[in-house]
Structure 1
Amino acid sequence: MSARAVRLVAPACLIVLTLAVAPPALAQERPQLLPTRDVSVTYRVTGARAQGGMPQMTLSWLAARQAMRMDMGGMGWLVADHRAQRGFMVMEQMRMVMDVPMEQALALPTRASFRRTGQDRVAGLPCTVWNFQDGADRGTACVTADGVTLRAQGTSGGESGSMEATRVTYAAQDPARFQRPQGYQALQMPQGMPPGMLQGIPGMPRR
């Protein structure tokens, strides 16, 4: 599988996690960005990532393990283990699995700042609107009190994009869905993959 193909398979998967790992400035107010309870959120994606073949995605969080699963329709699924700082991507049709080190998956933001700007409702749920900025990258996100990002949009590297929740389901997640599948062929990550190749849609803070 080529590096370009991998970018098309999983370009939008870590938007929420990318925001969540941004270390705050000292004494800076910032949103709760890791969900505090199990939840599954379906997003509508716009911008370059949607044009790449992913107009919709579903993120599920297993709060006790701080693990996230992204389902990409017929393209497969990806799990990011925030606590263990590692992940893997599964290509169902090919029955292949590829390890994705977190430091490769995320170009972690180090100077992102947040500013509360108001309140809104998305997918029937109340959320707080935050502006964020990391160097030239900037945008807004609407986040619930329990850490669910319902909407995010912004510009990064000359590209703009957004994601917005269309359905939010609070329910216990099956831990088995976050496990590496057995009996799948291991696939090596393509050489030359730049840091942050799985970072979220344009506009999310990055280093």
Structure 2
Amino acid sequence: MTKAGLGWLLATAALVLGVPAWPQGAPNPFVTPQRDVDVTYLIAGPRSAAVDPGSALPPPSVMTQRMRWSAALWSQRLDPAGNAYMITDYRARRILVVDPRRATATLLPLPATPPGGGVQSPGLRATGRYDRLGEDAVAGLPCTEWRTIDDGGADSVICLTPDGVLLRARHAGQVLLLASRVSYAAQDPALFAAPSGTRVEQPPSQ
């Protein structure tokens, strides 16, 4: 996997579950799924201004990405278009980027997040500032829109289900992430580990 590909995986992982939190606001939502879930997202690619929520099909510059979450393992698996996928273990604070074609995996430490930011422990709500905007529905599920602040100091608006599944993210008025399918099926623990025989490699040189 190239450095560019690895960087894109890390960036989209942050978009899916790494929503930043900022000082004190209440009541706050769950920002981490409280049960197993399997979500297919449309994500704006590098050359796309936004995802069109009214379009039946994504434009060519919009990518599809599958996210699976195990509540028991407190782990996330991201499968973007292509072959490599990423497993994030939030308890062990590590990321495993798996390339099945080469039977290799890159092991990385989980980047630090601001206090109260990112993924929260099971049963805990976000501790930063979230302004509730109203109710909506995405992919057939109800969600609540919340305004928060991104790392650059700009407003972001996210739509979260009552149990913490991110269904839509907007930045500067543009939809960057949109759930197209959601299933609350139980997730196989084997999905959150590298296949047997996978060789772990050092991360790409900086």
Provide TM-score, normalisation by structure 1: 0.77
| Distance in 1 (alpha carbons) for counterparts of 2:175 and 2:105 | 28
Structure 2 match to 1:109? 114
Is contact 1:89–1:97 with CA below 8 Å preserved after alignment? yes
1:34 to 29, 32, 54: 32
3-state SS of paired residue (1:12): helix
Are residues 50 and 72 of structure 1, via their aligned partners in 2, closer, same or farther at CA, if it must alter by over 3 Å? Answer: farther
Structure 2 match to 1:48? 46
Structure 2 match to 1:150? 167
| Distance in 2 (alpha carbons) for counterparts of 1:64 and 1:49 | 37
| Distance in 1 (alpha carbons) for counterparts of 2:80 and 2:30 | 25
Is contact 2:131–2:148 with CA below 8 Å preserved after alignment? yes
Structure 1 match to 2:3? 3
Is contact 1:39–1:168 with CA below 8 Å preserved after alignment? yes
Q: CA deviation at 1:54?
A: 6.6
Gaps of 5+ in 1: 193-207
Report which of the two has the higher share of helix: 1
Q: CA deviation at 1:113?
A: 2.8
| Distance in 2 (alpha carbons) for counterparts of 1:190 and 1:60 | 25
- Aligned AA for 1:171? A
Gaps of 5+ in 2: 50-59, 118-127
1:125 aligns with 2:141: yes
| Distance in 1 (alpha carbons) for counterparts of 2:61 and 2:136 | 29
Structure 2 match to 1:87? 95
Are residues 5 and 73 of structure 1, via their aligned partners in 2, closer, same or farther at CA, if it must alter by over 3 Å? Answer: closer
Is contact 1:50–1:56 with CA below 8 Å preserved after alignment? no
